[in-house]
Amino acid sequence: MFATFLIWRIDNPRVERFRMMVIDAVVPNFDWAMAPVTGVINLLSDFQSYQRLAQQNSDLRRELQDMKSWREAAIQLDQENARLRDLINVQLDPQLTRITGVVQADSGSPFRQSVLLNVGARDGILDGWPAMDGIGLVGRISGVGNETSRVILVTDTSSQIPVTIQPSGQRAILSGDNTINPLLQFIEDPDQVKPGDRVVTSGDGGVFPADLLVGQLARGTDGRPRARLSADLERIEFLRVLRSQPTARINDAGSLLAPLNAPVLPIEADPETEAEFLEGGGDG
């Protein structure tokens, strides 16, 4: 050992060549001894790489989940925005002002179909007013609280709405039967209507204003005429309540009818003929 130490300490070209010969002869034969150490080092390096990959994978999964959440929120906002645009863009009678409310809950049951709105008496809501989504008729107000109101859907069995089927102009009654497509009953002349015809409110009886869109005529599986509603009752989030003005009642018919002894004017008389007729007391 001492001799080896001395050889390694002597600074001489010949000794240096000898040292290199020894190294060349001995070091390659140490590969078998270094193999376990090299394997352990490689294993530690691979384990560290695996840890980094696992951490990156976890971070990517978390970011992907966040992106999915944001995507879902964006889709919901886009759908909500579309419904609000529908509420704004639908053309109605300018005399019909409206109040938009948010559907808070579905208060219906197998025997009664209705929803609750977050607008009520403090907003001026009255019983009987029609409620629409962005396109078609949904129902009518039936029950008003101070801050909420209930809407009976057109599919409820208590709902009976006079309608007109276009273009034939046939009158009918839209009758709810707790199905998604209410019945069209008492059609004046069923032969004059066909599937695809437009169904709107008629305004008869002062129940609803005229010409509110209901949907299209369709044939049910039972062969009976029904209305395929334009409103999407399965996904209503906003409703527009129309301030329905009551129909003016005629209390004094005499102001509209001519007296019995008044002269009857000829049809399409010109002004000169009309003046001569009135001066002559109505005599031919």
Q: Mean pLDDT lowest for which of 81-85, 122-126, 265-269?
A: 265-269
Q: Once rounded to an integer, what is the mean pLDDT over residues 256-277?
A: 50
What CA–CA distance (Å, rounded) separates 119 from 241? 9
- pLDDT over threshold 90, residue 73: no
Whole-number pLDDT of residue 175: 95
Output 28 or 243, whichever has higher pLDDT.
243
Amino acid letter for position 229: L
Contact 200, 163 (CB under 8 A): yes
What CA–CA distance (Å, rounded) separates 167 from 169? 6
Q: In DSSP terms, which residues pair with 242 in a beta bridge?
A: 98
What CA–CA distance (Å, rounded) separates 133 from 92? 12
Q: Once rounded to an integer, what is the mean pLDDT over residues 166-184?
A: 93
- DSSP reduced 3-state for 223: coil
What CA–CA distance (Å, rounded) separates 172 from 47? 78
Whole-number pLDDT of residue 67: 78
Contact 174, 184 (CB under 8 A): yes
- pTM > 0.85: no
pLDDT above 90: percentage of residues in the chain: 32
Whole-number pLDDT of residue 110: 56
Token couple for 54? 């696992």
Count the residues in the chain. Answer: 284
